[in-house]
Structure 1
Amino acid sequence: MQICLVAAIGLLISTSVARGITLIIFVSGFTSCMVALGFAFKRSILTSAYILLSGMACMLFAFAYTGAGLFDLAILGYPGLLIIAALLGSVGVFITVLLIIITQCILLTWLTLNHIITPYTPSLSWPHLVFIVVIFTITGFSVYLLVRDMKRLMLSLQGENIKVQQSKAHIQHLAHHDTLTNLPNRLFGEQLFQQSLLACQQKQQKLALFFIDLDNFKPVNDALGHAAGDELLKQLALRLSAILPPEHYLIRFGGDEFLVLAPTTVSDQQQLDVLAATLIQQSASVFTLLQTQVAVSASLGIACAPDDGTDFKQLCRKADIAMYKAKEDGRNTYHYYNDTLDQANNDKFKLLQLLRQAVAEQQLLLYYQPKICLSTGSVTAVEALLRWPQPDGSMISPDQFIPLAESSGLINQLGSWVLHQACSHCAQLRQQGFNALRVAVNLSVVQFKDGRLQSIVQDALNAAELPAQALELELTESLLIDNTDHIQRQLNGLSQIGVTLAIDDFGTGYSNLSYLRSFNASTLKIDRSFISNQAQWQANASLVQAIIQMAASLGLTTIAEGIENAEMAQRLAELGCNEGQGYYWSPAVPLAQLPALLAKLQRLQN
């Protein structure tokens, strides 16, 4: 539109000094400019360009045809047309105009050489100056527009390039940093590890990798919400970053797990001990979340390069193994990686594969140990104890495979099988004449998670046609700690169908007697660690007596585990303990030997 308008104004000025055929040509050119302006106004850019440029080309050809041919002043306008065509940015328009100009020049040359037209050189006059000024003005204005637009485009491109670089840097930052804490993420952490390791190797130093895991983070999320948990992680990140020395890096590994890369001298383990203690102290400090004072703790695992390897992923795995060892050691502490930890994990993995096969093929067996009334000597019940016999005649201890079954989820399948087997065996023994016999089965807290425990127990009782009163379920104190409505409802349901509940290993955990009423427990088992030898009995006799007296005041039956001799049985009976269980009467025996054992104990009673 600007070019059309300037060209139209220039031609209009030229008409004021033109005469004859020159005036007619200028008017025609002016008309084509106005038509092109109209199409440009309607955004028909290509149409406007073709009309303007073809009109101008024809006007210049007319001037050259009626004037000096190729030597006419009008030929000076052709470069302007090419500039305008290039300015409009269409290859088609530019090529079309170029071909038109070349064709017109060839035609003028042919017409001149064949004496069809006779060029003449007009005498110089002021109108000729006007024509030249108009041509230069239109051409110069077009060049100005072209250069101005190019500058604007370059500035715009520079601005966009800056934005792209900023966006690229931002995207790279997001790709390499955790969005919550703004710490380096696991991906960037690996790069920092490689850089730090190279620097340490050049300085003949070690690079320690700390694996930090918060011990009590989930309850924060559960009680206060994920927003509070996120705020805790941000505050922790700021605290740990503030205490790290130069050339140390804090990395968010994921969830509530962090890594610290710490260069250290080859022989200075004390430096790492101090740093580990400081990290634990900072993690255990009180956090203020939603106007609530919250305290957590952290467990740390430490692996060092190059001693424990130089691969980032492998070093993280080893530090993670050491961290879990710290959790096993009581949490809120740290542990260094060593090869024995790896071997222990490999052993656990292999044992788990064997356990899966054993559960699928029902290789495990139930053994039974009688419970004896201390006052009468009669058998009150038998406890079902899981055993895993091996082809060589040895046994794998339940202390080894039960935790694996719990952590792997096998405990539900295994626990269901134990309940059905124990109920079936108890029913068989009752039919063989042991009419009042009851069976006790141990439960894991994991068996309560899916909410199906009551139906499994009921199915086992129904399948064996065993009355519910003949089944006692033994619960560990860890279940009391996990006191939730979900577990409470299931325990209430079990009590309502007639199953009795006993608390196993009492005295080794929180030992909160007030829980016993809420869980409808009827029996309390005193842990064997209090009475298994003379030294322990002397140290714990007063505590055992207090437990028996408190249990009696709550109307609970007490059973002492681990009784080894008649003297211990007599002492416990004198303190008021109701029942006993231990090698004094019998170790756990397989089902095939149980009827004979029960008959023998009955004879001894009589």
Structure 2
Amino acid sequence: MPATARNSSGVRFGGSAVRYDGRGGMATHTGDWSMTATRTRVLAVVGAAAVIGITAHVLYQRYHVAAVVIDDSAQLAAGLAAAVSCWWYGRKAQGRERYWRWLLAAGFVGWTIGMVIWSWYQVFGGDLMPSPSWADAGYLTLPVFALAALLMFTKRSHPPPVLVLDGLVVVGSLFMLAWATALGAVVKGGAPSTGEFVVAIAYPLSDLVLVAIVALLLVFRRIGPNERPGLLELGLGLIALSVSDSFFAYLVSRGAEDMPPLLNIGFIAGPALVAVAAAARSRNQVPGEVPSRSRASELGYLLLPYAPLAATGILIFTKMITGTRLDWVETYVGLLVIGMVVVRQLITLLENRLLLERVRQGQAQLEYQAYHDPLTGLANRARFHDRLAAAVEVHRREHRQVGLLFVDLDDFKLVNDSLGHAAGDSVLCGVSERLQACTSGVDTVARLGGDEFAMLLDGTVEPQEVGERVLSALRQPFQIGGRQVIVSASIGAVITDTSEPDLTADALLRRVDAAMYGGKQAGKGVITVYRKELVGLDHPDLPTFLAAALRGEPDAGPLRVHYQPIVHMSNGETVAVEALARWRSPVLGSVPPQVFVAAAERSGLIAELDDQVLDIACRDTAALIGNGDSQLRVHVNISASRLGCPYLEETIRQTLIRHGLPGDRLVLEITETSQIPDLNAAAESTRRLRQLGVKLALDDFGTGYNTLAHLHALPVDIVKLDHSLTTHTDEQERTEALGRSVVSISHALGISVIAEGVETQAQVGRLMRWGCHLGQGYLYGRSMPVGALEIGYPAAREHHVSEAGSPRIPSL
């Protein structure tokens, strides 16, 4: 596109660029405007050259010297302008745009030098210029550099040697036709020496090559549309030079002593058009724009070299029939053309073979990319699902067991956040290698996305056994950038049952996913085998049903809140209750809390679930306090991922106000199933809530995310000992030491301790010896509706008082 159009704004419609004028109306297509501007420049240059040529021709008979001076000066000026323009605008361009301009600049320097020598002989030389001369050497420099410049317009998909061969086949065939019909006799008659003969045919032959290549580039779209205007002007300039060269060759062959100025118009217009072409700027090509090419143009490009070749063959066949012998030029040129055709066919065969090989490799690469993870090289979700579906189908027909593991790395986000994503990618690659090392050659290991992996096992292998090997392998640290990185994983395991003939691959994936998530809730870093308690979690419509229940839809089943008492184990007094959500779906039946809470966390419904439980619990507690239980507190579970969120603070504040519940009657229990995203923000939020009287408790302390670090970072009021520290285990001494230590540390920090899972009198005695006086568990009552609660000192609990006496009762 010319420089004057560079600032035009445009938009693409259907592959065509459209300009808009300053008034917002639609103007002409950019491509049409560009071609119109090109036509205008061409006509202007040719018109000016014609005026000069005609003027010199009119003066030629009476004022010969003046006519020669005008004619030669115009040619010199045009050649110099072409050289300067190509060099100057080449400096401002880049890549191929620079190289073709500089090549033409070099060619026109030689052409201009030849013109200077020619003009000197014409104006000042007393004798005729010898042939060949130094002027011929200068002139013939241009075709060499022009050919190289034209090859700069070819695309990578159309290599220059192929284009040159096609051009030479066309040129050779046309040359034979011209030689056999008229050119041969003319040249032989007017070229007494070998040198003159070579010069006589060098001009038309080189011109034919350039014109043929320009035609191949323009007519058959071997270039992009953004380069066509400039190439058109360049091609027209070379054609103008070729026309005048043809007149010159003809006159030389006829023995003419000079060339009329009228026939020199091409020597003026040609360089001038090249100068204009060098000054033209290509418009920016739209990304993804591909030159359109019809089947007809493709067929035409393939057949073009053979059309003149066929005509040449007919000519030779006719000569053979009539008994006319071929001269040496026809023989050698014909053999040369045949040789080039053979080479062109060999190149075509090689290109086709390479193309087929690239297609085959591309198909293989696309297939690999479609079914493999780009980072680890493992099978991806699509391939894994295909193999799992095939295994399930075999299970249906042959009752062969299918084992499946779902591996989810725990807290992997911390690795990316602390070490960077590059280190995280290295860890994922290391994990994939260790997973493969834990399996046999017939098993399939896949990366499903992010930090999730799946393993399809041969039916003869127990999934739990492989899972244990995986956990053991992952305990070994990874060496990443000179640092040791340790990762753990929660693993879900499932194995098919022969009693389920209608089992599908998707159902099996949901089951193993549910088992993995159940493991995360149980403390992470463990393997969990799918069991009946997790049946609801693998239902595909569970999140939909839960969302409907949270919206209060009558046919979804209401969300209810039950309460479990928290008591002083020394006297059985109920001092607090924990609010526990319960849900019975009309479709799924009674859904276990761990199932629908896990579904809420995974589907983004946990905030709505927390808020509804908080609202109901505050309402019920306010009613109990109004009935005389003024010291009762209610514990409400809040997902740790919400702690520090301003919306949570406002929700708590408004809920307390709405139900008239004092803030010191509310205890927020931070559940261990998710991570606190920002400890500093969580600490500040907790301090603001404490100004309202709200207390903070760490639930299930000793498992999951609730660690000693939270005791240090957060203003915690209560620690709830996980039942794993309060129940009898095979390593009782170790468990008792840990439990006693947690109680001792908490008391030292002024933190109250509540023991969870208290079911026997033996547990009560042990906890009392540790210094823990608050308990919760089936020994003191299961969760129940608010109307069934027994607040105070129930007679049924009096026998639970510890034999150790009645020590000081801690406050909540």
TM-score, normalised on structure 2? 0.49
- Which of 508, 511, 529 is the equivalent residue of 1:318? 508
For residues 182 and 140 of structure 1, the distance between their equivalents in structure 2, rounded to whole angstroms, comes to: 59
Name the counterpart of 1:215: 409
For residues 241 and 536 of structure 1, the distance between their equivalents in structure 2, rounded to whole angstroms, comes to: 33
The Cα offsets for residues 252-311 of structure 1, whole Å up to 9 and x where unpaired, read as 5544455667768xxx548x8877666665555432222222233554747689998899
Residues 539 and 247 of structure 1: CA distance in aligned 2, closer, same or farther (over 3 Å): closer
Residues 472 and 176 of structure 1: CA distance in aligned 2, closer, same or farther (over 3 Å): same
- Which residue identity does 2:511 align to in structure 1? I
Match of 2:635, SS state, is strand
For residues 571 and 472 of structure 2, the distance between their equivalents in structure 1, rounded to whole angstroms, comes to: 56
- Which residue identity does 2:189 align to in structure 1? T
1:440 pairs with 2:635: yes
- Which of 709, 715, 734 is the equivalent residue of 1:520? 715
- Which of 334, 338, 341 is the equivalent residue of 1:149? 341
Contact 1:477–1:505 (CA under 8 A) maintained in structure 2: yes
1:295 pairs with 2:486: yes
For residues 438 and 776 of structure 2, the distance between their equivalents in structure 1, rounded to whole angstroms, comes to: 55
For residues 333 and 526 of structure 1, the distance between their equivalents in structure 2, rounded to whole angstroms, comes to: 20
For residues 567 and 421 of structure 1, the distance between their equivalents in structure 2, rounded to whole angstroms, comes to: 35
Residues 10 and 304 of structure 1: CA distance in aligned 2, closer, same or farther (over 3 Å): farther
For residues 327 and 382 of structure 1, the distance between their equivalents in structure 2, rounded to whole angstroms, comes to: 27
Contact 2:478–2:484 (CA under 8 A) maintained in structure 1: yes
1:453 positional shift: 1.6
Name the counterpart of 1:138: 330
Residues 97 and 354 of structure 1: CA distance in aligned 2, closer, same or farther (over 3 Å): closer
For residues 570 and 88 of structure 1, the distance between their equivalents in structure 2, rounded to whole angstroms, comes to: 98
1:166 pairs with 2:358: yes
For residues 761 and 495 of structure 2, the distance between their equivalents in structure 1, rounded to whole angstroms, comes to: 52
- Structure-to-structure mapping, 1:371-386, within 5 angstroms: 380-386=575-581
1:365 pairs with 2:365: no
1:148 positional shift: 0.8
1:413 positional shift: 1.0
1:224 pairs with 2:419: yes
Residues 293 and 462 of structure 1: CA distance in aligned 2, closer, same or farther (over 3 Å): same
| Backbone CA RMSD of aligned residues | 6.0
- Which residue identity does 1:423 align to in structure 2? C
Contact 2:644–2:683 (CA under 8 A) maintained in structure 1: no
- Which of 725, 740, 751 is the equivalent residue of 1:556? 751
Residues 145 and 435 of structure 1: CA distance in aligned 2, closer, same or farther (over 3 Å): same
The count of residues paired between Structure 1 and Structure 2 equals 518
Name the counterpart of 1:79: none
The farther-off stretch of 464-473 and 235-244 is 235-244
Match of 1:452, SS state, is helix
- Which residue identity does 2:188 align to in structure 1? S
For residues 367 and 500 of structure 1, the distance between their equivalents in structure 2, rounded to whole angstroms, comes to: 21
For residues 703 and 191 of structure 2, the distance between their equivalents in structure 1, rounded to whole angstroms, comes to: 117
1:598 positional shift: 6.2
Match of 2:374, SS state, is coil
Identical-residue share of aligned pairs (%):
26
**Higher Rg:** 1
For residues 301 and 202 of structure 2, the distance between their equivalents in structure 1, rounded to whole angstroms, comes to: 17
Structure 1 alignment gaps of length 5 or more: 19-29, 56-85, 106-120, 122-128
- Which residue identity does 1:162 align to in structure 2? L
Contact 1:473–1:500 (CA under 8 A) maintained in structure 2: yes
Contact 2:416–2:424 (CA under 8 A) maintained in structure 1: yes
For residues 152 and 579 of structure 1, the distance between their equivalents in structure 2, rounded to whole angstroms, comes to: 94
Contact 1:249–1:262 (CA under 8 A) maintained in structure 2: yes
The farther-off stretch of 175-184 and 540-549 is 540-549
For residues 358 and 792 of structure 2, the distance between their equivalents in structure 1, rounded to whole angstroms, comes to: 83
For residues 352 and 88 of structure 1, the distance between their equivalents in structure 2, rounded to whole angstroms, comes to: 62
For residues 455 and 479 of structure 2, the distance between their equivalents in structure 1, rounded to whole angstroms, comes to: 24
For residues 438 and 205 of structure 1, the distance between their equivalents in structure 2, rounded to whole angstroms, comes to: 56
The Cα offsets for residues 548-605 of structure 1, whole Å up to 9 and x where unpaired, read as 54433222234455678999989977875565566787765544566x956999xx9x
1:516 positional shift: 2.4
- Which of 417, 437, 462 is the equivalent residue of 2:657? 462
For residues 179 and 566 of structure 1, the distance between their equivalents in structure 2, rounded to whole angstroms, comes to: 58
Contact 1:381–1:439 (CA under 8 A) maintained in structure 2: yes
1:15 pairs with 2:189: yes
Residues 499 and 14 of structure 1: CA distance in aligned 2, closer, same or farther (over 3 Å): same
For residues 386 and 591 of structure 2, the distance between their equivalents in structure 1, rounded to whole angstroms, comes to: 45
Contact 2:700–2:722 (CA under 8 A) maintained in structure 1: yes
- Which residue identity does 1:213 align to in structure 2? V
Match of 1:361, SS state, is coil
1:405 pairs with 2:600: yes
Residues 176 and 456 of structure 1: CA distance in aligned 2, closer, same or farther (over 3 Å): same
Structure 2 alignment gaps of length 5 or more: 1-167, 193-198, 217-235, 248-299, 799-812
Residues 411 and 252 of structure 1: CA distance in aligned 2, closer, same or farther (over 3 Å): closer
For residues 469 and 734 of structure 2, the distance between their equivalents in structure 1, rounded to whole angstroms, comes to: 37
1:39 positional shift: 6.5
1:520 positional shift: 1.0
1:181 pairs with 2:376: yes
For residues 737 and 766 of structure 2, the distance between their equivalents in structure 1, rounded to whole angstroms, comes to: 12
Residues 259 and 146 of structure 1: CA distance in aligned 2, closer, same or farther (over 3 Å): farther
1:174 positional shift: 3.8
Residues 318 and 555 of structure 1: CA distance in aligned 2, closer, same or farther (over 3 Å): same
Name the counterpart of 1:25: none
1:169 positional shift: 0.6
Match of 2:364, SS state, is helix
For residues 586 and 302 of structure 1, the distance between their equivalents in structure 2, rounded to whole angstroms, comes to: 34
The Cα offsets for residues 178-230 of structure 1, whole Å up to 9 and x where unpaired, read as 433344555566788899999x99xx997966545253344433332221222
1:453 pairs with 2:453: no
Match of 1:296, SS state, is coil
For residues 205 and 597 of structure 2, the distance between their equivalents in structure 1, rounded to whole angstroms, comes to: 91
- Structure-to-structure mapping, 1:202-351, within 5 angstroms: 211=405, 213-216=407-410, 217-238=412-433, 252-257=447-452, 268-269=460-461, 281-297=472-488, 299=491, 301=493, 314-315=504-505, 318=508, 321-322=511-512, 325=515, 328=518, 344=535, 348=539
For residues 713 and 778 of structure 2, the distance between their equivalents in structure 1, rounded to whole angstroms, comes to: 33
- Which residue identity does 2:508 align to in structure 1? K
- Which residue identity does 1:402 align to in structure 2? V
Match of 2:535, SS state, is helix
TM-score, normalised on structure 1? 0.62
The Cα offsets for residues 340-389 of structure 1, whole Å up to 9 and x where unpaired, read as 67992577556655544433228233344555567898765444343447
The Cα offsets for residues 397-452 of structure 1, whole Å up to 9 and x where unpaired, read as 53454333333333311211222233334444445555555433222324448663
Residues 240 and 369 of structure 1: CA distance in aligned 2, closer, same or farther (over 3 Å): closer
For residues 438 and 739 of structure 2, the distance between their equivalents in structure 1, rounded to whole angstroms, comes to: 48
1:162 positional shift: 0.8
- Which residue identity does 1:14 align to in structure 2? K
- Which of 491, 494, 501 is the equivalent residue of 2:689? 494
- Structure-to-structure mapping, 1:111-130, within 5 angstroms: none
1:235 positional shift: 3.8
Match of 1:145, SS state, is helix
- Which residue identity does 1:321 align to in structure 2? R
Match of 1:293, SS state, is strand
1:472 pairs with 2:667: yes
Match of 1:181, SS state, is coil
